[in-house]
A and B are shown apart, each in its own frame.
Chain A
């Protein structure tokens, strides 16, 4: 049908071209998620601090990041990071830094909503018991906020996994690049792109199915 030929897919091709890319895509997703959550939480705390000099820079950073396309951010970091640290770096390192910085902006908005979803009364109760700001945040607010936000955080992670394919712009070797190169090497780019779509679909669909189940589980406990 359609004159497609998938026969060139074999284990050798998978190990040679795809696994390296898959590892990088997954690594990038995990590192950017963890880094994004850490820096995103800090940004969210800055924005909710009620102090103008903390709130304003965080707001500018978050809204700035959110109004330019990810591809543009990837290109910017690839240009600027070597200038800042004074030596050239590979596209992979640049991609890791970019995604942490970019995702921090998105995760901070999620965390901000999560923190705001905790009733004010709990913060006041903590204060009444003599807890410091830090104790109140780490013992009362953040654990609940994380839990409330877990499905949204995970959904964002799936989007992030899809977005890692955009490192194509700077030539980093991710899963899609693996398919791209394999297809070009074997002179069968169409089949390679179809397989890429199938693999991404299976990965993302099963992940979002798991998130849905988790969401139901959490909803029952609460």
Chain B
């Protein structure tokens, strides 16, 4: 193989950004912000959908929640991103003015919301049924016993799968390269082509991905430790990708 040439990162790509390494950091920023915004959206939507799937006596809400999960889980992320980027603005002129960033955040967020909803549902259903009845027995309304009894425990149960989900959304944000979001993969492809130093570009981007994965992992381990309920042990879960 050829010799490494790391000097290439100090060259000028031409344009607004003075050097390649600064361009790469900005791409990392795009990756991070798409992932974090997507994760926030996914947590919000996923919590609502996951909760209504466990509500007693509301079959239509449960069905809606199930349909939501099946819909967003059974279409590949790449196709969903294309739908949000190319199709949604055409069908709904209101959305036409939105920047691509927002559309990709919607795509990633809704895709991940289905997975989070599924985890939250199984988290709530993993709680002993007595907790729900106890909440009812002390006179809580449905909203109250979800807010004060079920959800606080359920969220703690699903922290391990949520950890892998936050690492997944970060990896999944790479699919946004397909719709010209200037994130890391897009940078690796473009900069590699411009400089014909593809190996160096890929290597640097891969290292950034590994660093970010480790940071997220440590952060979630810290969260898990912080919110742990003494004497309450939960088993870990395995996630997809």
Which A residues contact B (CB, under 8 angstroms)? 2, 4, 64, 66-72, 75-76, 79, 83, 106, 109-110, 113, 152, 155-156, 159, 162-163, 165-166, 168-169, 176, 189-190, 193-194, 196-197, 200-201, 204-205, 208
Contact = CB atoms under 8 A, between A and B. Distances in A.
Contact of B185 (A69, A83, A162): A69
A10 to B, nearest CB: 21
A196 B177 CA distance: 19
Contacts, number: 109
B70 interface: yes
A159 B241 contact: yes
A204 B83 contact: no
A74 B22 CA distance: 25
A193 B74 CA distance: 15
A79 B78 contact: no
Interface residues of B, number: 40
Contacts of A166: 76, 78, 175
A128 B78 CA distance: 52
B79 A193 contact: yes
B199 interface: yes
B137 to A, nearest CB: 33
A79 B198 contact: yes
Interface stretch (B37-45, B51-59, B98-106, B166-174): B166-174
B34 interface: no
Nearest to A84: B1
25 contacts: A2-B90, A67-B213, A67-B214, A68-B171, A68-B209, A68-B213, A69-B171, A70-B171, A72-B205, A75-B188, A79-B198, A79-B199, A113-B238, A152-B238, A162-B74, A162-B76, A163-B76, A163-B241, A166-B76, A176-B78, A189-B86, A197-B80, A197-B83, A200-B74, A201-B74
